[in-house]
């Protein structure tokens, strides 16, 4: 079996092939900056090295099997097949000049959040580092970045803090200066509330952002929507966030998916305001992306705006995220579900 090279740093490539460090960097640049996966095309490498690479190594293993492009927004959603037949999804979102890549960290998810398509099908397995990195490389394959670096959000399938080491390593590779060289502040890890790993994340020596999928600020409701709340209730989560903020002095984001008649009232906004008291926090309000078969409805736009306004009036920064891909099954886990049911 060929060895996968996409999760190796430039130095590791050099070590693996017993070549000079600069050649390791050359190979890394071809794969990460030019997104060229065919070693034959790496024209500045000596021919024997190219041949050896072709025989013994592969630059990518995940296979794009379904790509959907939203005509209205330019959002691109790709379904990938992994070597063992598992499937995962990733999304490229365009917002004026900015490109954001939404990456998966697991095949499936064990957390079973009530409104999420991924959770419905259960957990399959953790992704390997190369399977995380290659999502970004494939998504950017036809993109001319013109010197801009994309944003990265770990908001695809899975709970990134449950696949901690692989996710952290993938971040270091995305930040590699001979690669995509993405600044730490342009990378966001999103969690449903893995408290021990949040505490661990607070000790990482970088500026990578943390986002918490809150969705409710009272325990009975949050335990229904985000069942991991039964294990780590709001008080414990809050302690971890206090620790995180005091250690890192960074702002955190709360994600709040608005469900019609469930978590969208002025009382819910008041609970959130109280919960966020004293935290350096920012709220990202997301209209729910409908998932067939689930007993929810998206909150009407007017209620979304009222919810946002209530937060702002209470002194909490909040934005309402625009819908970017209902026409391409962009909600987390939806494209995969369609394929499985076929
Ligand atoms: N497990 C991690 C990351 C993946 S989910 C987490 O929970 O943060 C990324 C975000 O999308 C979370 O805030 C999640 O609650 C939200 N989400 C999932 N399904 C959604 C849907 N159908 N509509 C809107 N947001 C959804």
Average pLDDT in the 204-211 region?
95
* pLDDT more than 70, % of the chain: 94
Q: Which atom of ligand 1 is nearest to the CA of 159?
A: 1
Q: What pLDDT sits at residue 341?
A: 47
Average pLDDT in the 197-216 region?
96
Per the DSSP assignment, residues forming a β-bridge with 252 are 281
Q: Please indicate whether residue 136, judged by its CB atom, sits closer than 6 Å to ligand 1.
A: no
Predicted TM-score (pTM) of this structure: 0.95
pLDDT band at 342 (very low <50, low <70, confident <90, very high): very low
**Rounded CA gap, 53 and 321, in Å?**
44
Q: Please indicate whether residue 173, judged by its CB atom, sits closer than 6 Å to ligand 1.
A: no
Q: Which residue has the higher pLDDT, 121 or 10?
A: 10
Q: What pLDDT sits at residue 73?
A: 85
Q: Please indicate whether residue 113, judged by its CB atom, sits closer than 6 Å to ligand 1.
A: yes
- Asked if 194 is an active-site residue, the reply is no
> Alpha carbon 249 to chain centroid distance?
22
Angle between helices 164-175 and 129-139 (to 10 degrees): 40
Catalytic residue, from 8, 89, 131, 194: name it.
Answer: 89
For ligand 1, the distance from its centroid to the CA atom of residue 212, given in whole angstroms, is: 10
pLDDT band at 32 (very low <50, low <70, confident <90, very high): very high
Q: What pLDDT sits at residue 71?
A: 87
**Rounded CA gap, 284 and 228, in Å?**
20
What is the DSSP track for 218-242?
A: SHHHHHHHSTHHHHS-HHHHHHHHH
Note whether 191 and 232 are within 8 A (CB). Answer: no
DSSP state, residue 259:
B
- Measured by CA distance, the residue closest to atom 5 of ligand 1 is 155
For ligand 1, the distance from its centroid to the CA atom of residue 332, given in whole angstroms, is: 7
Average pLDDT in the 24-38 region?
97
Tell me the pLDDT tens digit for each residue of 114-130: 999 998 889 999 999 99
Domain at 63-341, CATH from 3.30.470.10, 3.90.1640.10, 3.40.710.10, 3.20.20.70: 3.20.20.70
Domains 3-58 and 63-341 agree in fold: no
Average pLDDT in the 21-42 region?
97
Average pLDDT in the 324-342 region?
55
Tell me the pLDDT tens digit for each residue of 67-89: 999 888 889 999 999 999 999 99
Give yes or no for residue 337 having a pLDDT over 80: no
Domain ranges of the chain: 3-58, 63-341
Written out in words, the top-level CATH class of the domain with range 3-58 is mainly alpha
Q: What pLDDT sits at residue 97?
A: 82
Average pLDDT in the 13-28 region?
97
Q: What pLDDT sits at residue 329?
A: 56
- Measured by CA distance, the residue closest to atom 19 of ligand 1 is 116
Tell me the pLDDT tens digit for each residue of 267-322: 999 999 999 999 999 999 998 999 999 999 999 999 999 999 999 999 999 999 86
Q: What pLDDT sits at residue 148?
A: 87
Average pLDDT in the 189-202 region?
98
Q: What pLDDT sits at residue 147?
A: 80
Q: Which residue has the higher pLDDT, 175 or 148?
A: 175
């Amino acid at each position: 079996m060929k060895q996968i090279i996409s999760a190796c740093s430039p130095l590791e490539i050099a070590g693996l092939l017993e070549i000079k460090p600069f050649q390791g960097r050359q190979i890394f640049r071809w794969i990460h900056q030019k997104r060229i996966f065919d070693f034959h095309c790496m024209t500045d490498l000596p021919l024997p090295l190219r041949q050896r690479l072709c025989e013994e190594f592969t630059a990518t293993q995940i296979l794009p099997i379904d790509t959907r492009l939203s005509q209205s927004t330019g959002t691109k959603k790709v379904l990938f097949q992994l070597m063992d037949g598992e499937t995962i999804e990733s999304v490229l979102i365009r917002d004026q000049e900015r490109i954001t890549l939404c990456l998966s960290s697991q095949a499936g998810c064990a957390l079973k959040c009530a409104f999420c398509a991924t959770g419905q099908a259960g957990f399959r397995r953790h992704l390997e580092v190369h399977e995380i990195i290659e999502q970004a490389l494939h998504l950017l394959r036809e993109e001319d970045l013109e010197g801009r670096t994309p944003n990265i959000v770990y908001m695809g399938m899975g709970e990134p803090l449950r696949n901690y080491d692989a996710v952290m390593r993938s971040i270091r590779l995305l930040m590699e200066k001979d690669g995509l060289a993405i600044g730490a502040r342009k990378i966001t890890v999103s969690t449903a509330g893995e408290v021990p790993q949040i505490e661990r994340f607070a000790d990482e020596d970088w500026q990578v952002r943390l986002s918490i999928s809150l969705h409710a600020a009272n325990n009975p409701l949050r335990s229904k929507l985000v069942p991991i709340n039964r294990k780590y209730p709001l008080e414990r989560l809050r302690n971890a966030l206090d620790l995180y903020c005091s250690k890192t002095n960074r702002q955190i984001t709360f994600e709040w998916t608005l469900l019609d008649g469930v978590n969208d009232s002025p009382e819910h906004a008041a609970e959130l305001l109280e919960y966020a008291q004293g935290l350096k926090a920012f709220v990202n309000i997301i209209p729910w992306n409908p998932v067939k078969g689930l007993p929810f409805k998206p909150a009407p736009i007017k209620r979304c705006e009222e919810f946002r306004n209530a937060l702002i009036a209470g002194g909490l920064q909040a934005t309402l995220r625009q819908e970017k891909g209902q026409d391409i099954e962009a909600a987390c886990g939806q494209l995969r579900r369609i394929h499985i049911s076929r």
